[in-house]
Chains A and B, each alone.
Chain A
Amino acid sequence: MATISLRDVRKTYAKAEVIHGVSIDVPDGEFVVIVGPSGCGKSTLLRMVAGLEAITSGEIAIGGRVVNDLEPRERDIAMVFQNYALYPHMTVFDNMAYGLKIANMPKAEIKARVDRAAGMLNLSDFLDRKPRALSGGQRQRVAMGRALVRDPAAFLFDEPLSNLDAKLRVQMRLQIKEMQRTVGTTSLYVTHDQTEAMTLADRLIVMNAGVAEQIDTPMAIYDRPANVFVAGFIGSPAMNFVSGTLEAGHLKTAGGQRIALPVPADQAGRSVTIGLRPEHLQTVDADHPGAMALRVRAVETLGADAYAHAVLQDDSTVELVVRVPGARRLSEGETLHVVPDADSLHVFDAATGARV
């Protein structure tokens, strides 16, 4: 078990820089999730930690030891791949044991380790099977088992659940978390799925275009996103954004409409983007002070909740999604009155996108 630390790590492909200096410190035993849209460089970053990609500049250390120039096998890490990368001609047992055999571990010790991992992952009955005789979920567990038996300094997960169906994904998510808690191994986990990221992470790194936009606990990021990108990426459904100019007591939209907001006096005149989460818009009666009148365009009913896709009645360029209780039957064209939850208002500078 060990810490992982990245110091200003950069990666350049054919003169184009794809990772622009990322620094992270992962304390021993922590589960850190790197999340971001595809192409943001999160997998590249993970593969650099694994030693599968060279680092252009910067420094990566695992357990206090700089590993920049070490081969993957010398870094004492284990990795779970997106497509599992099981050796098709080996049995489940041999797949899990391969790394240990290469390390010349005694046979009895190998067997004990594989049996223990197989027990943890409910794979004991499948040890003699070849990967093609397993279901997707079982293969995924074998891939985890292969990492587990190594008892490495760190686990690296590269979108390990994205090839599974939705139900299995939720199940495996819990199992991964449980497994990591049990063994307490430092873990770095890459995903593009923000729900997965939120549920798994002790700490979250939101990446965009080769930059770590924010590093914090999931709830801190949800509550105080550092910029527009993070705000839009974390949370489901995504945050609503309204741009405009702050004036005393309200926001003036581009279309000239005024939305009542608690604006501090010193911010008046500033061009901003306001972020309102769908779950932080309260439906109120028409005569409620400061109520925005919205026209409902479409409704997604999920059961417990429903999401109303609506526009400002007086400015249809402003689109908002509002969460309402599932019991409330809305129909298209209906008028809905909402007020923003004053405590959960996010204000970003229009020019830089940074939180104000």
Chain B
Amino acid sequence: MNRATFPHRFLPWLLVLPQLLISLVFFYWPALQAMWQSTLKEDPFGLSSKFVGLENFRKVLSDPAYLNSIKVTAFFSVVTAFLSMSIALLLAVQAEKVLRGKAFYRTLMIWPYAVAPAIAGMLWLFMFNPSFGTLAWPLRQMGIDWDPLLNSGQAMGLVIAAASWKQISYNFLFFVAGLQAIPKSLIEAAAIDGAGSARRFWTIVFPLLAPTTFFLLVVNSVYALFDTFGIIHAVTGGGPGKATETLVYKVYNDGYNNFLLGSSAAQSVILMAIVITLTAFQFKYVERKVHYG
């Protein structure tokens, strides 16, 4: 049936106007600017610019630093998503088993969601600070040369830990919701068919969780790509060297600190393409009806 509506003609425009205006001024205009800028080459003082077509893209895509950044981002995203999702799934499955204290565990588990990524990074750096971090101290005692500010592998490990830690809450809540949506009768039927508890998990529960898992995979990729900027900026500043320079950090650094406007804009456009792909993917393929009981 058709939606019942009010007959007014002018009023609805007034109502959508604020959001349209903000979208146009702060989203569309800058996005178009980024696209335009990505085809321009500016002199170092920003005094003149000329149209160079796809030159900036060619440069960016053949720049070893950019390729390195892609590798860093891919590694960081995959490991972060995998870690935070598997820990969250493990905990969610355990939370479904216990009879008492579910609410208590959940309450304690959701804290990190409220912590800003940058602060999450700083918290982990406090704990693992080479000079006074309480958790760095035993590492040093064991003779490990622990210094995430100088050692690139350790720096990557630290930002991954912080990023994964922060995302556990989110994934946990969605996995709990996903688990609760699985009909108990299916699991009981499998038990009657003689499946043990591990087998029940891998043959019944895990496949039925696929929509949730798939959805979280997309969300976690977006998170690792964009929302972790704060962690990188606050903890490593992309370093040591360029060991933790993710794509977003590089856009920021090249544009805001190094004034490589054309290159930064080209990188922005590439990122835009990535977001559009991910969003399209999410809307097209991901079953998005996850219910929380």
Contacts and interface: CB of A to CB of B under 8 A. Distances in A.
A and B touch in the complex (CB under 8 A): yes
Interface of A: 52, 54, 71
Interface string B221-235: 000000000000000
B22 interface: no
A71 B7 CA distance: 9
Listed from nearest, the 3 A-B pairs whose CB atoms lie closest are: A52-B4, A54-B7, A71-B7
Contacts of B4: 52
Nearest to B4: A52
3 contacts: A52-B4, A54-B7, A71-B7
B10 to A, nearest CB: 16
Interface in B1-46: 4, 7
A54 B2 CA distance: 14
Contacts of B7: 54, 71
Interface residues of B, number: 2
A56 to B, nearest CB: 15
A323 B78 CA distance: 78
A165 to B, nearest CB: 24
A52 B7 CA distance: 9
A54 B4 CA distance: 12
B190 to A, nearest CB: 38
A119 B37 CA distance: 74
Nearest to A71: B7
B292 to A, nearest CB: 22
B132 to A, nearest CB: 56
Contacts of A52: 4
B224 to A, nearest CB: 42
Nearest to B2: A13
A52 B5 CA distance: 9
A39 B7 CA distance: 24
B7 to A, nearest CB: 8
Nearest to A13: B2
B11 to A, nearest CB: 14
Interface in B54-96: none
Nearest to B6: A71
A54 B7 CA distance: 10
A52 B2 CA distance: 12
A54 B5 CA distance: 12
Contacts of A54: 7
A71 B4 CA distance: 14
A30 B248 CA distance: 74
Interface in B184-218: none
B118 to A, nearest CB: 41
A82 to B, nearest CB: 12
B3 to A, nearest CB: 12
A228 B4 CA distance: 36
Nearest to A47: B4
B8 to A, nearest CB: 11
Nearest to A54: B7
A150 to B, nearest CB: 20
A86 to B, nearest CB: 16
Contacts of A71: 7
A226 to B, nearest CB: 31
A275 B4 CA distance: 42
A52 B1 CA distance: 14
Interface string B125-160: 000000000000000000000000000000000000
Nearest to A51: B7
A74 to B, nearest CB: 12
A54 B6 CA distance: 12
B245 to A, nearest CB: 53
A196 B7 CA distance: 34
A19 to B, nearest CB: 16
B162 to A, nearest CB: 44
B1 to A, nearest CB: 10
A309 B7 CA distance: 53
A226 B7 CA distance: 39
Nearest to A52: B4
A178 to B, nearest CB: 31
A52 B4 CA distance: 8
A71 B6 CA distance: 10
A145 B4 CA distance: 23
A140 to B, nearest CB: 21
